[in-house]
Chains A and B, each alone.
Chain A
Amino acid sequence: MDASKQLLVMDSSPQGRVTESTSKIMNTVSLTLIPALAVSVWVFGWDAVRVLALTSVFCVGFEWLLSKWVSYKIDYMDGSALLTGILLAMNLPSSSPWWLILIGSLVAIGLGKQVFGGLGQNIFNPVLVSRTFLIISFPVELSLWPKPFAYDGSTGATPLGVLKTEGVGALSGTSIGDLAMGQMGGSVGEISALTLLLGAAYLIYKQYIAWEVPALFIGTVFVFTGIFYLIDPTTYADPVFHMFTGGLFIGALYMATDMVTSPLTKKGRIVFGIGCGFFTAVIRLFGSYPEGVSFAIVLMNGFVPLLDKYLPDKKFGMVKNG
Chain B
Amino acid sequence: MLLRTFKRGGIHPPEEKLSADLAIEYGEIPGSLLVPVNQHIGKPCNVLVKKGTAVKRGDVLAEADGFVSSNVHAPVDGKVQKILNFPQLGGQIKECIQITPDNPGESYQSVLEGDTFQEVDVDGLDRDEIRKTIAKAGLVGMGGAGFPTHVKLSPPPDKTIDTLIINGAECEPYITADHRLMIEKSDELVRGIKILQKLFDDVMIYIGIEENKADAIETLEQATKDEVKMKVIPLKTKYPQGGEKQLIKAVLNREVPSKGLPMDVGVIVQNVGTLKAIYDAFFYQRPLMERVVTVSGNVVKRAGNILVPIGTPVSYLIEKYEIDKSRIKRLVSGGPMMGRTSYSFESPVSKTSSAVLFFDDSVYDTRDENPCIRCGNCIAVCPMGLPVAQVTEMIKANNVTPDIKNYIMDCIECGSCSYVCPADRRLVHWMRFGKNIINREN
B150 at the binding interface (Cβ < 8 Å) = no
CB <8 Å contact, B407 and A315 = yes
Q: Are A11 and B389 in contact (CB under 8 A)?
A: no
> Which one, B245, B373, B428, contacts A25 given CB within 8 A?
B373
Q: Indicate whether B152 reaches chain A with its CB closer than 8 angstroms.
A: no
**Given A20-B420, A316-B383, A319-B255: A12 and B371 within 8 A (CB)?**
no
Which residues 382-400 of B have a CB within 8 angstroms of A? 382-387, 389-390
Which B residues form the contact surface with A (CB < 8 A)? 8, 13, 91, 173, 245, 249, 255-260, 264-265, 325-326, 328-332, 336-343, 357, 359, 363-364, 366, 370-377, 379-380, 382-387, 389-390, 407, 410, 413, 415, 418-424, 426, 428-429, 432
Q: Which A residues are in CB contact (< 8 Å) with B343?
A: 7-8, 10
Which of A118, A308, A313, A317 contacts B255 (CB under 8 A)?
Answer: A317
B371 contact set on A, CB distance < 8 A:
22, 118-121
Is the beta-carbon distance between A22 and B364 smaller than 8 angstroms?
A: no
Known A8-B328, A313-B379; judge A16-B364 contact (CB<8 A): yes
Q: Is the CB of B329 within 8 A of A8?
A: yes
User: From residue B293, how far is it (CB to closest CB) to chain A in Å?
Assistant: 17
Task: Please state if B342 and A6 are interface contacts (CB–CB under 8 Å).
Answer: no
Contact in complex: B330, A9 (CB < 8 Å):
yes
Number of interface residues of A (CB under 8 A): 50
C-alpha gap A314/B390 in the complex (Å): 15
Whole-angstrom distance between the alpha carbons of A260 and B326 in the complex? 43
Kindly provide the distance from the CB of B192 to the nearest chain A CB, expressed in whole angstroms: 28
> Is the CB of A1 closer than 8 A to any CB of chain B?
yes
Q: Does A265 contact B (CB under 8 A)?
A: yes
State the CA gap A316–B259 with chains docked (Å).
10
Known: A15-B336, A15-B363. A317 touches B329 (CB 8 A): no
Complex: chain B residue closest to A321, CB-CB: B257
Contact A13 B337 (CB under 8 A): yes
Q: Which one, B91, B245, B364, B376, contacts A15 given CB within 8 A?
A: B364
When C-beta atoms are compared, the residue in chain A nearest to B365 turns out to be A9
What CA separation (Å) do A315 and B258 show in the bound complex? 8
B338 touches A1 (CB 8 A): no
| A264 partner residues in chain B, CB cutoff 8 A | 374, 376, 379, 387, 389-390
Instruction: Tell me if A11 and B341 are in contact (CB < 8 A).
Output: yes
A136 at interface, CB cutoff 8 A: no
Interchain CB contact under 8 A, A316 and B410: yes
B340 near A13: Cβ-Cβ < 8 Å = yes
Q: B14: nearest residue on chain A (CB-CB)?
A: A16
Interface check A139, CB cutoff 8 A = no
Q: Which of B379, B386, B419 is in CB contact (< 8 Å) with A14?
A: B419
A312 located at the interface, meaning its Cβ lies under 8 Å from any Cβ of chain B in the complex: yes
Find chain A residues with CB under 8 A from B383 CB.
316
Does A12 contact B428, Cβ atoms closer than 8 Å?
A: yes
Q: Which residue of A lies closest to B420 (CB)?
A: A18
Would A17 and B389 be within 8 Å (CB), given that A316-B245, A317-B384 are in contact? Answer: no
Which A residues, 299 to 322, have Cβ-Cβ distances below 8 Å to chain B?
308, 312-322
Decide if A317 touches B256 in the complex (CB within 8 Å): yes
* Contact assessment for B257 and A319 in the assembled complex, using a CB-CB cutoff below 8 Å: yes
Query: CA separation between A318 and B373, bound complex, in Å?
Result: 28
B326–A1 touching, CB < 8 Å: yes
Chain B residues with Cβ below 8 Å from A120 are 371-374, 423
A10's contact among B325, B341, B385, by CB below 8 Å, is which? B341
Please give, as numbers and ranges, the residues of chain B lying within 8 Å of A22 by CB-CB distance: 370-371, 373, 422-423
Flag if B385 contacts A313 (CB, 8 Å).
Answer: yes
List 5 tightest A-B contacts by C-beta distance, closest first: A317-B258, A14-B415, A12-B429, A20-B422, A120-B371
